[in-house]
Structure 1
Amino acid sequence: MSYSLFRFGFLALLLALLAAKPAGSPRITERDFQAYFAAYGLRGSFLVLDAGTNAYTAYNLARCRQGFLPASTFKIPNTLIGLETGAVADTAEVFRWDGVRRAFPQWNQDLTVAQALRVSCVPCYQQLARRVGAGRYRQWLPRLRFGRMHVTAATVDTFWLAGSSRITQFEQIDFLRRLQQGRLPVSARSQAITKALLVLGRGPGWVLRGKTGWTMQSGADNGWFVGWVEQAGRTYFFALNAEPANGGPATDNFVRGRRAIAEQILQREFGLLAGAAK
């Protein structure tokens, strides 16, 4: 074999190896955060991305890669789609209460879009879903790359709460990162409005944005808390998924624990959210 042929073969092999493992692939470090979940009687998984270093920290990595129904975390892309399609004009538009009394009293009234997101009003966003329609969801959802949503005319107002739609914690963070950076294929206006609606708290040098979610299927409860923290010029994205450890019904610990666990980990393990309640 000539030197030139050997050199060509070596270069081809090197290029193939580089293609198989792209430069800049995110690093994943596994940590044990089980005690935080156990304190609330929950089991689950937690994922954080430091956007500055492109490094993930994961608790229960296999579960972070498992898909779950998005529940009310879908209100984030749903708000974007509603604004982009004109199904809602702005955050001051009012969803009229249908008069049906539900278990969550804060839903039993007229609510603006902004209020409906804040109290996670499912019937309000079901109104929005019927306005958008299955056809337009099938156009917009692939563009947004929010997990794997399956919507039909029959499931247009439930597909994020029941059925075969799924999203992983990695996919949640990927979507939020593109929203935070203004890289979603929607208008800058829609992204800015949605990001403003997600603000949950502010402190010295930091802002917390996020959204909870909760599904109840066949007696099994599953919950989310996803979002990001901007602090000191850096951004950290997070996604928590949890359920009662005993497989029983949701308790107050489940309801409070989703956000509390995430905030405690972000404070104590990452030095974020200084001054926030622990």
Structure 2
Amino acid sequence: MRYLLGWFLVSVCLASCSPNNVTEDAGLRKLLEAEKLDGVIGVFHNLSGDFVLSDRKVFRDSAVVPGSSFYIVQSMVAIETGRLKDEQSDINGTTLEQAFKADSLHFFQELAGRIGKDTLQRWIDTLGYARRYDTPRIAQLDRFWIDNSIRVTADEQLGIVKKLYFDQLPFQRRTHAIVSNMMLVEDSTEYKLAYKFSEGSNTDGTRILWIQGWKEIRQHPHFFVIQLRTREEGVDLKAAGKRIMDQVLAGFLP
């Protein structure tokens, strides 16, 4: 668990992450088994500091391609560096918000070119992004997040959304707020729900789905991450992911 919130290579959570606050829950494993999918599910209750995981080792050690989940980071870099002003800034008629929600590969390839290789590499290094196994290096600027040049764990992915929520990344508060708002899906008097679905594939042909986000209840956030993997072409990963997420929200969060 030492890599949770591993950005900057040091985390304030290191001291609090111990066997006493980490639980492996068979109920979470059964959600994966019911869909006949590999992967891992993790939940972090911020108020109590408790982690509930389907598998501790997979959560910590299973690194796969980030796919379009990298757009969370890329969007923040674009806004922070002024390449884009805000979520309504557009490229060829498509706004950042539209592209973010639609996982537009073409948009973010164009945006990577506008940001530039050196700038993106510097931010990846500053953030300590995808550092679980190696030091990520940008090879092809327009596809390094989908060509397996970098890999992230569920542990790291949960850390990303937690630090985003608490404005703990090295960006301005405004940048955090814009990207957080792009992830917001439901906003009611009872709760706020924010998440992002992201897809990718490993070099062996395994298809990957990431879901990461939070549910805020009475100003107390609960963070979750779901990593799904399959080599079966006929499986609708998004539909399976939505079913699993709904059950996680209903059965494992307040």
TM-score bracket, normalised by the shorter chain, equals 0.7 to 0.9
- Per-residue CA deviation, residues 174-233 of structure 1 (Å, 9 max, x unaligned), is 221111111111111111111111101234511111111111344321111011111123
1:23, distance to aligned residue in structure 2 (A) = 5.0
Consecutive unaligned residues of structure 2, counting only runs of 5 or more, are 1-13
Counterparts of 2:57 and 2:64, CA distance in 1: 13
**From 27, 40, 46, the counterpart of 2:35:** 40
The corresponding residue for 1:70 is 66
- Per-residue CA deviation, residues 95-148 of structure 1 (Å, 9 max, x unaligned), is 22xxxxxxxxxxxxx421111111111111111111111100121112223323
Counterparts of 2:29 and 2:76, CA distance in 1: 34
Counterparts of 1:87 and 1:163, CA distance in 2: 26
Helix, strand or coil at the partner of 1:270: coil
Distance 1:64 1:24, change over 3 A: closer
Asked if the contact 2:137–2:149 (Cα under 8 Å) also holds between the matched residues in 1, the reply is: no
1:64 is aligned with what amino acid? Answer: F
Alignment of 1:152-163 (within 5 A): 152=138, 154-163=139-148
2:68 is aligned with what amino acid? Answer: S
1:25 is aligned with what amino acid? Answer: C
What TM-score does the superposition give when structure 1 sets the normalisation length?
A: 0.78
Aligned residues: 233
Q: Percent identity?
A: 24
Residue 239 (structure 1) aligned with residue 225 (structure 2)? yes
Report which of the two structures shows the higher radius of gyration computed on alpha carbons. Answer: 1
Residue 51 (structure 1) aligned with residue 46 (structure 2)? yes
**From 110, 120, 125, the counterpart of 2:103:** 120
Alignment of 1:208-227 (within 5 A): 208-217=193-202, 218-227=204-213
The corresponding residue for 1:169 is 154
Asked if the contact 1:146–1:172 (Cα under 8 Å) also holds between the matched residues in 2, the reply is: no
Asked if the contact 1:147–1:167 (Cα under 8 Å) also holds between the matched residues in 2, the reply is: yes
Helix, strand or coil at the partner of 2:252: helix
**From 208, 230, 233, the counterpart of 1:249:** 233
Asked if the contact 2:42–2:59 (Cα under 8 Å) also holds between the matched residues in 1, the reply is: yes
Consecutive unaligned residues of structure 1, counting only runs of 5 or more, are 1-21, 97-109, 272-278
Structure 1 stretches of 4+ moved >4 Å: none
Asked if the contact 1:48–1:57 (Cα under 8 Å) also holds between the matched residues in 2, the reply is: yes
1:59 is aligned with what amino acid? Answer: S
Helix, strand or coil at the partner of 1:63: helix
Asked if the contact 1:134–1:151 (Cα under 8 Å) also holds between the matched residues in 2, the reply is: no
Asked if the contact 1:144–1:175 (Cα under 8 Å) also holds between the matched residues in 2, the reply is: no
